[in-house]
């Protein structure tokens, strides 16, 4: 007869990944101060994958869409995606699904900014209070790491050689780039108003009402670019090279076709209006 019993009841979750056999894995200095519903149920008669049911509080911390934190931090500083394309870490980002996390065993679906990536199987180890991988799936070299919550929106990959990679929870890469670079209301020298929203909506550009930020560079576009279109239709989109200096936004027309693009004349000189911010 199957026997269910309670093995852990705590009111404070300390996310930590250290034990004698993992001396090279450093632990996070930033801790989650309080997490609700931290009861973990285990059934010894089931397999390791089936024996744990993680509480929603832990699942919520780990689940979601994560982007490379160094990449985002660089953009916040230099206001350029192109100048930030070299960043710490192998991955551009990854996703963690709630369904798998609840069982205590899931996979990190990692991706790069262009193509490729890898899948990393991870399992919750209650003794360490975090997820741990045993190596990359379908890869020759086995890389072991612990997946640690540093704060409510930062995940750290701690590798056995003592190095770390950090990733930030976001809704998606397009919205995050728009928020960092463009979100706000602007004016030109004639007091005409222009708005840039994180969902891609834009106004002030005639019939064009949508914009996207380039982050996968190639095909002749090796500088910062935004695409402005009608309802996201690529057939009628305009390309602009952007330069941001504090509150000033300069948009230069891009002429030509793949792969012979050239930066043309300055078309828009906009200033972010602090009094009209959304």
pLDDT over threshold 60, residue 200 = yes
Sheet holding 52-53, edge to edge: 5-8, 40-42, 52-53
pLDDT of residue 5: 31
Mean pLDDT value across residues 105-112: 92
**Tell me: the pLDDT tens digits for 212-230?**
999 999 888 999 999 999 9
**Mean pLDDT score of the chain, rounded to an integer?**
83
How many other β-carbons are positioned within 10 Å of the β-carbon of residue 249? 24
Q: Report percent pLDDT > 90 for the chain.
A: 64
Q: Of the ranges 50-54, 209-213, 228-232, which one carries the lowest mean pLDDT score?
A: 50-54
- Measured CA distances, 43 to 46, 90, 99, 133, 183 (Å): 6, 36, 19, 22, 49
Where exactly are the structural domains of the chain? 7-170, 173-276
Rounded to whole angstroms, how far apart are CA atoms 41 and 2? 13
Better-predicted residue by pLDDT, 205 or 49 = 205
**Tell me: the pLDDT tens digits for 113-164?**
887 788 889 999 998 899 998 765 555 446 689 999 998 899 999 998 999 9
Question: Band of the pLDDT at 45, cuts 50, 70, 90?
Answer: very low
Tell me which range, 4-8, 127-131, 138-142, 195-199, is most confidently predicted by mean pLDDT.
195-199
Name the pTM for this structure.
0.81
pLDDT of residue 197: 98
pLDDT of residue 257: 87
pLDDT of residue 51: 56
Mean pLDDT value across residues 56-85: 97
**Tell me: the pLDDT tens digits for 174-193?**
999 999 999 999 999 999 99
Rounded to whole angstroms, how far apart are CA atoms 27 and 98? 24
pLDDT of residue 142: 61
Residue 12's DSSP bridge partners are none
- Crossing angle for the helix pair 69-78 and 173-181, to the nearest 10 degrees: 20
């Amino acid at each position: 007869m199957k026997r269910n019993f309670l093995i852990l009841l705590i009111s404070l979750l300390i996310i930590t990944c250290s034990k004698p056999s993992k001396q090279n894995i450093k632990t996070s200095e930033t801790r989650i101060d309080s997490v609700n519903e931290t009861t973990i149920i285990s059934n010894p008669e089931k397999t390791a994958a089936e024996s744990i049911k993680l509480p929603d509080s832990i699942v919520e911390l780990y689940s979601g869409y994560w982007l490379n934190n160094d990449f985002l931090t660089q953009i916040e500083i230099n206001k350029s995606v192109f100048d930030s394309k070299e960043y710490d870490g192998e991955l551009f980002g990854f996703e963690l699904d709630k369904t798998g996390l609840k069982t205590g065993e899931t996979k990190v679906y990692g991706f790069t900014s262009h193509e490729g990536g890898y899948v990393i199987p991870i399992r919750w180890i209650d003794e360490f209070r975090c997820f741990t991988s045993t190596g990359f799936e379908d890869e020759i070299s086995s890389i072991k790491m612990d997946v640690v919550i540093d704060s409510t929106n930062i995940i750290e990959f701690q590798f056995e050689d003592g190095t770390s990679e950090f990733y930030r929870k976001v809704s998606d890469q397009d919205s995050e780039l728009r928020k960092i670079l463009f979100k706000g209301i602007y004016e030109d020298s004639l007091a005409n108003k222009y708005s840039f929203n994180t969902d891609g909506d834009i106004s002030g550009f005639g019939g064009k009402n949508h914009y996207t930020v380039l982050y996968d560079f190639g095909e002749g576009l090796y500088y910062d670019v935004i695409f402005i279109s009608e309802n996201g239709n690529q057939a009628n989109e305009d390309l602009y090279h952007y330069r941001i200096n504090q509150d000033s936004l300069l948009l230069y027309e891009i002429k030509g076709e793949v792969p012979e693009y050239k930066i043309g004349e300055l078309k828009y000189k906009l200033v972010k209006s602090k009094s009209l911010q959304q």
